[in-house]
Structure 1
Amino acid sequence: MKKILLLIISLLMVISISQPANAKKKIKVAFALLWTIDDMGWTTAAYNGIKYLKEKMGDQVEISYTEKVLAADAERVFRKYARQGYDIIFGTTFEHMDPMLMVAQDFPKVVFEHCAGYKTAPNMGNYFARMYQADYLAGYMAGLMGYKHVGTVATNPIPEPIRGVNAFTLGLIKGLKEGKHSFNPNKVNTVVWLKAWRDPINETTLAETLISRGCTLIRQMADTPDSSLAACKKGVPAIGYGADAAKYGASCALVSTLWNWGPFFVKVVKEVQAGTWKPTPYWAGFEQNMIKLSSFNASVPKSVQKKVLKELEKFKNGEDNVFVGPIYDQSGKLRVKPGEKLTDKELLTMRWLVKGVVGNIPD
C-alpha cells in the first residue's frame, strides 16, 4: 500500500513540475464579420488579421468567427459568444457599435472591442486605423506620375471616407507640384458616392462613367475591387483599397492601400493575458503598423516609389502632417490656417471637401 501511495505522490509531482505555475490560460477570441471572408476587401482584411493572430499566438488562443453579421443580427451573435465563455469579442464594423454596447453591459467580465465607432464602456473599447495616411501616399504617387484627372468611387458620405478623399487630394496636389505638372487646382479629383460599403454593380457603373467623362485614373474606395477591375477593362489604371486589388485580378492597380488589423488583435490578446487591457479608443496608422501599402505596379517609376517610401518613413516615425495648413475647402474658404493642424476630433467629424475635389457630400 505504501508503495502505491509513493507512486501516486511521485506522479503528482511530475505532473506539477510539467505544468508551470505561470502557464497562461488559453484565451477564447470571437469575431463578428460584416461579410464573407472572401469578399476581397473589408472582411478579407479582417480575416487576414485573424490569421495573423493565430500565427502569432498559436495554441494560446481559441478563435471563432461568424460571417455576414449585419446590424440586425449583431446582438444575437455577441450574446451567443458571451454565453459560450469567450474572453474577447470583436465587432468589426461601425454598425456593430450599439448592439455591442448593449451586450457589454450584460457581460461585464468579457472584453469587447469595436471597430470604427466612438462609444466605450468599462469593458468595451474601440479601434480604427488612420487609413487617410495611406490615402495621402497613394495620391502623392499619382500626382508625381502626372495624373490630374482622377475619378474616385467613394462609399458612404461619412467622415472616414471624406477624410480619405481629402487626404488623397492633398497628396495628389503635392505630387503634381513636385513633379512640375500643369493642372487645374480646382479640379483634380472627381468624387461620386455609392452610398454603400459594397455594391459591385454600381461600382462598375460609376467607374465606367468617370472614365467616359475623361478621368484617367480610378481610385477605388469600396470593400470590393470592382471599380478597379472596371478600370482595367477600360485600359485605365487604378488604385486599390482595403485589400490588394492586384491579387484579385486588377492588374492595372498601381498600388493598393491596405488595412492591417493583425498587430492590433495580438496587442489586445496580450493585454488581456497580462491583465493590463483598458477600454480606451485606439486610432493608429503606419507608426503602429495598422495600415500598409501593397507592392507597387511595375509601371510606377522607381524614382516615384522612392519618394513615396520616404514619406511613408515619416509616418512610421510619428510625423503626420497630412492636415497641416494652409488648407482650403471647395469654396475657397480657409479651413486650416498656415502651420496649424486639425485635431483628431476635427478629423473624426469632418464634413467638408478640400479644394481640388469636384463633387458634393450628399445628404
Structure 2
Amino acid sequence: MTLPIRSLGELDVPAIGFGAMVLSPGMYGEIDDERAVDALKASIDAGGTFIDTSDAYGDDGHNERVVGRAIRGNDEITVATKFGLKLAEDAEPHPLKVGFAFEELLVNAEPQYIRGYAENSLRNLGIDAIDLYYLHFPDPQVPIEDSVGAMAKLVAEGKVRHLGVSNVTPSELRRAYSVHPIAAVQTEWSMWRPVDPQLLETARELGVGVVPWSPLGAGFLTGTVQQLGADDFRNNAPRFDSESLAANNASYGALQALAADLGLTRSQLALAWLLHQDPAVVPIPGSRTPAHIVENLAAADITLHPDTLARIDAVLARIKPVGATLLQDAR
C-alpha cells in the first residue's frame, strides 16, 4: 500500500502515521516485544512508515528500543520521538499542572539536558539522526524559547532534522517558532475531543503541520472498548470508568450506523474525518493488531463528500461525552 504524502512544515510523511506508545507494557495492558515488533512491521509493510515514539514510553527507553529493533536496516522510515518527561538523574523535577488524569506531570526541559536526552534516544533507536524531535510538554520553569534554542543546536549538529512541540498553547507555538522553524505541533484531537481552534489557526498561519495524538480517542472510537484491564493506562481517565464508558458507548453509537452506511469501520470514519479537517493534519493512531493497523492506514485513501462531513458534524454536535479525557482543559 502506498499512502498519500502530506507535509509537516518541510518534512514529507505518509498521511497517517503510527503511534507506538501502545506497544509498551502498562499502556493498554501487557504486551511482549515480539508482538510489538510484529505490529510495527505490519505498519511499515502497509506504508505506515512515519513512526511516533517517546523516551518516556515504557521503562528506561523501552518503546524507543522496540522501534529501533523494528526499523533496523530500513532507510525509508521517518522517526519522531520526544523528550522532557524522562528526566536526567540530576535534573530537578518541575511540576506541570495540565489537567491530566493524574493532576500533574514532572518535566524538565532545561537546555543543558537536551543534548543528553537526544543522544539517549539516538542510542535507543539505533539511528544517526532523529527526523522529528518534539518537546513533549513545555516546562513551566523554562521559557520555551530556551528549550527550542537548545533543540536548534541539535539540528545544526545533524543529530536532529526537524523540530516539533507537543501539548502547547497557541502562544507557546508562536514563541517556539520565533526561535526555529517548527515542523509539527502535536495535540490531542479526535471526535472524542475537539482541537483548540486558536492552535489550529496559529499552525496554519505559520505553516506548521498538526499531528493529532489519540486520534481514535485512546481506542474508544473503534467501538470495541467495553471494559479495561487493571493494568491499563486508560483507567486514569474518567471517561473510561465503567459508568461513563457505558454512557459514552451509547451516545457514540450513532456513529456506528453512519460508518456502516458508508461501508467504513468506525476507526476509518474517525481518521478520514480528521484528515478532511486540514491538508496538514497527520494523525498517529496506534494498535497492536496487524489487521487493525492496515485498516487504519486505508483511511488515508477515503474521500468524504461535503454532505457526508456535514452529517458527521451534525451527529457530533449532538453528542456530549461523559467524563474527562486523558488531557482535559489543559492550562
- Pair in the same fold by TM > 0.5: no
CA radius of gyration, larger in? 1
Bin of the TM-score, shorter chain as denominator length: 0.3 to 0.5
TM value normalised by structure 1: 0.32
TM value normalised by structure 2: 0.34
Higher relative contact order (CA 8 A, sep 6+): 2
